[in-house]
Amino acid sequence: MTLALIAALPFLGALLPGLLIRAGRNACAAVTGSVTLLALVLLAMQAPAVLRGEVVTTRIEWLPSLGLNANFMLDGLGLLFAGLILGIGLLIILYARFYLAKSDPMGVFYTYLMLFQGAMVGIVLSDNILLLLIFWELTSLSSFLLIGYWKHLPEGRQGARMALAVTGGGGLALIAGMLILGNIAGSYDLSVILTQKEAIQASDWYLPALILILLGCFAKSAQFPFHFWLPHAMAAPTPVSAYLHSATMVKAGIFLMARLWPVLAGTPEWFWIVTTAGLITMVLGAKIAFFKDDLKALLAFSTVSHLGLITMLLGMGTAKAATVAVFHIINHATFKAALFMSAGIVDHEAHTRDLKRLGGLRHLMPVTFTIAGIAALSMAGIPPFNGFLSKELMLEEAAHTALGPAWLLPVLATVGALFSVAYSFRFLSHAFLGPKRDDYPHMPHDPGFGLWAAPGFLALLVVLIGVMPMTTAAWLVDVAAGAVTGAPVEVEIKHWHGLYAPALWMSLAAVGGGLAMLGAFVALRAMWDATPRPEAKAIFDGIIEPLAALARAVTQALHNGSLTRAVAIGTVAITAAGLWAFAGGAYSAGTRAMLPLSPVAVIGWGLLMVAVAGVVLVHRNRLMSLILIGIIGLIISLGFAWLSAPDLALTQITVEVVTVVFMLLALNFLPKETPRESTAFRRGRDALIAIGAGAGIGGLAYAIMTRDFAFPSISAYHLAQSKPGAGGTNAVNTIIVDFRGYDTFGEIIVLGIAALLIYALVEALLKPGSANDRLLAMPVRADIAGDRHPLLMVMATRFLLPVAMMIGVFLYFRGHNLPGGGFVAGLVFAIATVMQYMASGLGWTEARQRIEYHALIAAGVLVAAAAGVGSWLFGSPFLSSSYTYVNLWPLEQFELATAAIFDLGVFLCVLGAVLLALNSLSRMARRAGETVSADPYSVDRPEGGK
């Protein structure tokens, strides 16, 4: 369970910042960092086993019939990425504490950050592709929140939308590709899929799966042609940018390509698609980065370039190239996070990131200059830093790989490295070198230790890995590359590869050419500005805007607020689908004979049809419609009883009583008749739709009832297991509180929420100055109101209250074996109280109310939840029930079932919800100026009443 806990900890930690921010910013950051640190410690405890070549797994069955299990796996690749995500995440939390302004809601930021962190950890630890896809989409959603954190900035909102659109669209393609991959392999578990290379690559579905999966990976990792979204994500705060570019989000696509490398790589399709996309992205991103003036934009496009470099290496398909890719993942994470944090420090202190307004900062910010200098030289591939080592290995692999002409790949790789040198030295020279200026927007200086500690630590790693690669990084590269290639790897990392190594001369050409480009920057910049070129953002906006306009047009046409139109469209669509299915199949007559019709059934059916037709004819008269609806409900309840369904009959009757009372209260605020809104044509159209849909439903019911089915009905299982499985002979009740207790638990929560919404709506309407003032001020006509609380009714309801409650208790206790149960009992109690409202009025009833209706709802949900959680104490799943028989003198043997506790929760929630809704509507019905008496021997009367 350790891996599941590591994946869950960031999500649990996301609950804390919003609460602890009240204790101060330091407490908020400390606790948030402690959660990440705990997850990192738990990960480190698993590291020795992984370094020995073992694969640590955690398997939790979730929905095994669908292949969806919460399975987690930790191998070398997972260890590398989880370590980067949690380790750099811990540094980002520290950095953000000192970077964010006091006006920035830090609790919200840390909540979003922990959600993002948890989604990324879930991706790299998942051993089930369906679970991985869930985490994959969570990264898109949580990054949307982080990128748009400064929602008051238009560029922040636009960058968040663009990132969500591109990565979300790629996620849809990935879902399709992964499902195809799972079907080919015969399993959705990655540990199984990774053993099916031959079957996958031999399948006719290999190429569609490959293309769809690569679309998802390229979109997430900003590979050409999806590279444009990442720089626009720079509108996020710098801690987000540093985290997103170094260890998360964009590395998710790289991780997935590396994870699936053993089964997808090695084919011409993989080589050409992945290597070409990576090479184009590497060169294009580096070229654009060189001409950017914004520090973060320059670094963003440099990230695009380096992601292209890693993608190109993975595309080559050789074990050595994959090993170099793994090594560069580590190096890029260290120097890029340090660079972004350094850029954030410059922006924080100088109040600008514009290179044209900077320069000479080495005199004012020596500590920041040192950190940024180390990281920038590493990014440029200058020895002895770690970026040089992986760049040399990359160039060596490029020199021995042919992509078309033998010279093409080495030359383009050298060009990409050349631009990398150029933009790295431009970052340093234009920001930190040169004379000190006197026109900075704000006079900069080195910040306190809290702001430069995190990038300083990363810069130290850059130096250590560069100077001692075999000691500090080779062991991690070995185990991670071994997980990628599927075979043991022993990498040899060194600074000198010999005088005749192609990489040496390619590297010298890159450094020399990069410095030359920097020297000619002014002239090159003028050429760049004068050269027409397509803007990816403009293209994106040009595609999105017409699509959005089309979506708005379709939405407004279909969903214009007309309930009639919405119901008509839905009904026609469903009916047409049913008709199409019927026409496409072979029809055969049913095998069951019709049951004989009794006179009682015919009369009941006739009354039902008359009442239904009456509703259609007099529907504009609201009171008459309500009376007819009540008659329909009564006839249906009699039908349930005639068809041997007494539970349904009891429920129908009680629900009908409560519903009619509620509707009567609502009619106080509505005109007596509805306006005539439909034309004759529309009424005719709706009649045809209704007749067609009704005929379809009737035909379907007839077809089902006159046929036997080859497969067993689930109802037979419930009937057979009602007594031995749940300890009750009333199958309806055992289904509600036992077999499908989870459904019922959700339903009572929804019922409680509905009552609370009614209460909240009424509270808003009863406030002075609300839209309901006119209704509350409506005068009551005392001459026709009569005696609102007849004495006979008052006395009768006082007598019936305890009787009805005794009946409710009786129905509750007998429900497990005979018709009844908590739901019906709650409604009977509610009806007993409704009678008091009707007879004695709101004031008299409220004066004797001892329990808040809100508390009843809460108690019901808590009792039902306690019944479910109690199952865990005995090692059973949530809401599992048990029963036993007890002999208690002088009583006869009787049954005790834990389901009764759950049923008590149902009872309390139903009672509380109905009474809260009733009380809310009753308070609305009380008119302005009406007096309310709590005297048990007096009745409420409106002013001027007799």
If one compares 673 and 865, the residue with the highest pLDDT of the two is 865
Q: Across residues 777-797, what is the average pLDDT?
A: 66
The one-letter code for the residue type at 757 is L
pLDDT digits (tens, 9 = 90+) for 299-335: 999 999 999 999 999 999 899 999 999 999 999 999 9
Q: Output the CA angle 894-897-901, nearest 5 degrees.
A: 125
Distances (CA, A) of 785 to 476, 666, 934: 86, 17, 21
Among 278, 156, 287, 269, smallest CA distance to 217 is for 278
Per-residue pLDDT band at 936 (split at 50, 70, 90): very low
Q: What is the pLDDT of residue 780?
A: 52
Alpha carbon distance 311, 250 (integer Å): 12
Alpha carbon distance 224, 313 (integer Å): 15
Q: What is the pLDDT of residue 75?
A: 93
**Torsion sign over Cα 797, 801, 806, 809:** positive
Asked if residue 95 has pLDDT above 90, the reply is: yes
Q: What is the pLDDT of residue 773?
A: 59
For β-strands 56-58 and 72-74, DSSP reports them as antiparallel
Cβ neighbors of 603 (< 8 A, separation 6 or more) are none
Bridge partners of residue 74, in order along the sequence:
56
Alpha carbon distance 76, 85 (integer Å): 14
Contact 927, 944 (CB under 8 A): no
Q: What is the pLDDT of residue 323?
A: 93
Among 877, 870, 855, smallest CA distance to 901 is for 870
Among 41, 142, 156, 162, smallest CA distance to 90 is for 41
Q: What is the pLDDT of residue 943?
A: 40
pLDDT digits (tens, 9 = 90+) for 135-154: 999 999 999 999 999 888 88
Asked if residue 716 has pLDDT above 70, the reply is: yes
Q: What is the pLDDT of residue 562?
A: 76
Determine which of 63-72, 742-751, 801-810, 853-862 has the lowest per-residue pLDDT on average. 63-72
Per-residue pLDDT band at 941 (split at 50, 70, 90): very low
Alpha carbon distance 164, 145 (integer Å): 10
Structure-block tokens of residue 869: 């959680």
Distances (CA, A) of 192 to 186, 199, 232: 8, 12, 38
Asked if residue 585 has pLDDT above 70, the reply is: yes
Contact 36, 30 (CB under 8 A): no
pLDDT digits (tens, 9 = 90+) for 253-285: 999 999 999 999 989 999 999 999 999 999 999
pLDDT digits (tens, 9 = 90+) for 902-925: 889 999 999 999 888 888 877 766
Grouping H, G, I as helix, E, B as strand and the rest as coil, residue 894 is strand
Structure-block tokens of residue 666: 């609502």
Q: Model pTM? A: 0.74
Taking each helix axis from N to C end, the angle separating 853-873 and 741-765, rounded to the nearest 10 degrees, works out to 160
Q: What is the pLDDT of residue 853?
A: 86
Q: Across residues 577-581, what is the average pLDDT?
A: 89
Q: Output the CA angle 449-454-458, nearest 5 degrees.
A: 130
How large a percentage of the chain has pLDDT more than 70? Answer: 95
In a 13 Å sphere around the CA of 214, the CA atoms on its Cβ side amount to: 26
DSSP state of 591: S
Q: What is the pLDDT of residue 940?
A: 45
DSSP state of 66: G
Cβ neighbors of 33 (< 8 A, separation 6 or more) are 90, 93, 94
Q: What is the pLDDT of residue 33?
A: 94
Structure-block tokens of residue 705: 């009832």
Omega into 384 within 30° of 0, i.e. cis? yes
pLDDT digits (tens, 9 = 90+) for 344-372: 999 999 989 989 889 889 989 999 999 99
Where are any strands of DSSP class E within 636-744? none
Q: What is the pLDDT of residue 91?
A: 95
Cβ neighbors of 747 (< 8 A, separation 6 or more) are none
Mean pLDDT rounded to a whole number for the chain: 86
Q: Across residues 196-214, what is the average pLDDT?
A: 93
Other CB atoms within 10 Å distance of the CB of residue 768: 6
